[in-house]
Amino acid sequence: MAQRPVALVTGASRGIGRGIAVELARTHTVVGTYRGNREAAESLRREAGVEIFACDISSAADRQRLIDFVRDRFGRLDLLVNNAGIAPRVRRDVLEATEDSFDEVLAVNLKGPHFLTQLAARWMLEQGAGRIVFITSISAYTVSLNRVEYCISKAGLSMSAAAWAQRLAPHGVLVFEIRPGIIRTDMIAPVEQLYEERIAGGLLPLRRMGEPADVARVVRAIADGLLDYCAGQVIDCDGGFHLRSL
């Protein structure tokens, strides 16, 4: 049995997930999943001592293998961070977007974390405690016409988080949603310069792009129990993007 609390972070090898895994590794035994990029996962293991596990979150068999691994190896699960997500392979206008792209993005970004949470929630209910974090996006409510499937997946994931928060809170399992904004990761690399220009022009009140560490600090507060009475809360980590003004 693990003595330290155990955290499971999906999509941990790069970007926001990596930042979260590194932060949590200071206090938790961390299992980080990856899909395909073994080199990035191995570098995370070396850097932070994270236990890495190859897993396609869209696969029911892989999700079960993952939970079985954590249970067999560590005997407990204190925190699940649903972070794994993909962008469309090709950005296409909504008039040209394909069903194959839609199916792939929703399988990874929505179906996978929803049903991984089901497995984790059943276990946490046995334990009588646990915390679950959904990493969604400002795309849950902000339309990008050249990647609508991504926006739909994040909007759906936001509802999944709300449903699980409502279902689990009475039993001591606390669920939170974090909506990152424009965060410096591989996913936005192709349009990073455009975002930098728009931020300088006033897109964000804070006038800077976010970093994975910004999101990781919010997860830290949740992991430490500082936000427990805020169960079900949507936390905007977006430099003020969500603010409106005239």
Q: What is the dihedral of CA 217, 222, 228, 234, to 10 degrees?
A: 70
Write out pLDDT tens, residues 30-41.
999 999 899 999
Whether the per-residue pLDDT at 1 is higher than 80: the answer is no
Return the percentage of the chain with pLDDT > 90, whole number: 95
Q: Is the pLDDT of residue 2 over 70?
A: no
What average pLDDT is seen over the chain? 97
- The DSSP H or E segment spanning 106 is helix 99-106
* Residue 150 a catalytic site member: yes
pLDDT tens digits, residue range 30-81? 999 999 899 999 999 999 999 999 999 999 999 999 999 999 999 999 999 9
The answer to whether the CB of 10 falls within 8 A of the CB of 113 is yes
Quick: pLDDT tens for 148-181.
999 999 999 999 999 999 999 999 999 999 999 9
Distance CA 52, CA 175 (A): 24
At 15 the pLDDT is 96
Q: Is 99 exposed, middle or buried (0-12, 13-18, 19+ CB in 10 A)?
A: exposed
Distance CA 119, CA 41 (A): 24
Q: Residue 185 gets which letter from DSSP?
A: S
Backbone φ and ψ of 40, nearest 5°: -65, -40
Q: Which CATH number fits domain 6-236: 3.90.1010.10, 3.40.30.10, 1.10.10.10, 3.40.50.720?
A: 3.40.50.720
β-pairing, 6-9 vs 29-34, is: parallel
Q: Can you give the pLDDT at residue 246?
A: 83
